[in-house]
Structure 1
Amino acid sequence: MIRTLLYLLAGVVLGGIIHIIVILVLPLLAEETVWSRVSALGARDGIVVLPAVEAGAPNPLGLDPEIVYGICQVDLADGPAFMTGVMPDAFWSIAVHDRDGKIVYSTTNRDGIGRTLTLGIFNAAQTRLLAQQEIEIEEGLLIVEARTDPLFIVVRLAPAHQAMRQRYEAVLAGVKCGVRE
């Protein structure tokens, strides 16, 4: 009886260990990741405005159909990245993501930034150069330090009405994003 319970307990523990290992290893084996999806959009060092999501159509990125999205992909190994532009007066947000899709930094216009977006993204070495004043930056630049070099930035604009969507897409297309060497 005790031997049977020990075998049962050992089986449950072994099954738990195997389950945890599979859960941790499976994402590493995935061929289609957030990074590969963003890379397929061709947003390297420039902003790409994503097309509107149609009701009932496939939505692999899980986007909100009411929001206008822009994505920019940068690699800080090439130098610091900057994003500049004048945003609409309505709600907007920006999020910097690492290669795995984890948010490194996020803000909205409700943080007192106003309409002008001036964002500089630096890795640790570039931040040290910035502190030593070896990198020229403009006044009022919002500084973000990232732990990894490959990043992507998502900008979201929320038009009050669908009739304004096209104008918001044009504003988003005018945003400058990329690495300055």
Structure 2
Amino acid sequence: MTSRGRFLLATATGLVLAGLVHIGAVLLIPRLSEADALSRARTGETLDHAMPVYTLATGDTPSPPEAWLPIPDPAVAVGICAYDLADGPMRVSARTGPLMLSLAVHGRRGAFYAVTDQAAVRGALDLVVLTRAQYDEALANADENDVTRDVRIVAPDAKGYVVVRVIAALPSQRPAANTAVQAVSCTVDVPAEDKAGG
């Protein structure tokens, strides 16, 4: 092999190796990041209601600078409920009203379920996020004559978060949108026999 051939081979090998290193680094960023959405959402895990992420400006009160989601829509109030299914199933309860409300369930790899207030039964929307084992246990313990209004979701990951969004179509609806996000309840679901015993 000539010196020019060796030079071209070394250059091509170096470029391929550099490309692989860059691709590997980009793919590892989400796993190594400490400021990803899941990590930020977990700061509010102990709350029993949605942690406000983006509240709408109302009158003299400007929108606070806490927004860490991508550029927020100025007409949407956003809150987050973090969960760890090792503690038990996560119940997210919301009362529907005149404003459009949506819940999106996210895991480590992104959103895997979304529902709007159109799925509410008698003005209440109850979403329960469970592991496969918790879901199977809930089915085994369920009374077939007892009708549940829960929307049960099997999560692919034990840790994640639920994004609550409420749309204020008019500026006068902004306070109601902020209140609706704060009114969403996020609790660890305890089975009935545990409630009775404890």
Q: Aligned runs of 1:4-153 on 2, under 5 Å? A: 4-41=7-44, 44-50=47-53, 51-52=55-56, 54=62, 59-62=67-70, 63-98=72-107, 100=108, 102-110=110-118, 112-113=119-120, 115-133=123-141, 139-153=148-162
CA deviation map 1:83-125 (0-9, x unaligned): 2221123322110112x36112112235x54642111111111
C-alpha distance in 2 between matches for 1:102 and 1:64: 20
Alpha-carbon distance, 1:48 to partner: 2.4
Alpha-carbon distance, 1:58 to partner: 7.3
Contact persistence 1:72–1:178 (CA under 8 A) = no
Contact persistence 1:121–1:144 (CA under 8 A) = yes
**What is the root-mean-square deviation in Å for CA atoms of aligned residues?**
2.8
Contact persistence 1:93–1:109 (CA under 8 A) = yes
CA radius of gyration, larger in: 2
Alpha-carbon distance, 1:41 to partner: 4.2
Alpha-carbon distance, 1:56 to partner: 10
C-alpha distance in 1 between matches for 2:28 and 2:84: 26
CA deviation map 1:52-90 (0-9, x unaligned): 365795743222221011221222111111122211233
Unaligned runs of 5+ in 2: 191-198
What is the TM-score normalised by the length of structure 1?
0.82
Give percent identity, aligned residues only: 27
Contact persistence 2:88–2:188 (CA under 8 A) = yes
C-alpha distance in 2 between matches for 1:2 and 1:76: 58
What is the TM-score normalised by the length of structure 2?
0.76
Alpha-carbon distance, 1:43 to partner: 5.5
Q: When the two structures are aligned, how many residues end up with a matched partner? A: 179
Confirm or deny that 1:3 pairs with 2:6: yes
- Distance of aligned partners of 1:55 and 1:156 in 2 relative to their CA distance in 1, 3 Å threshold: closer
C-alpha distance in 2 between matches for 1:122 and 1:174: 22
- Distance of aligned partners of 1:159 and 1:30 in 2 relative to their CA distance in 1, 3 Å threshold: same
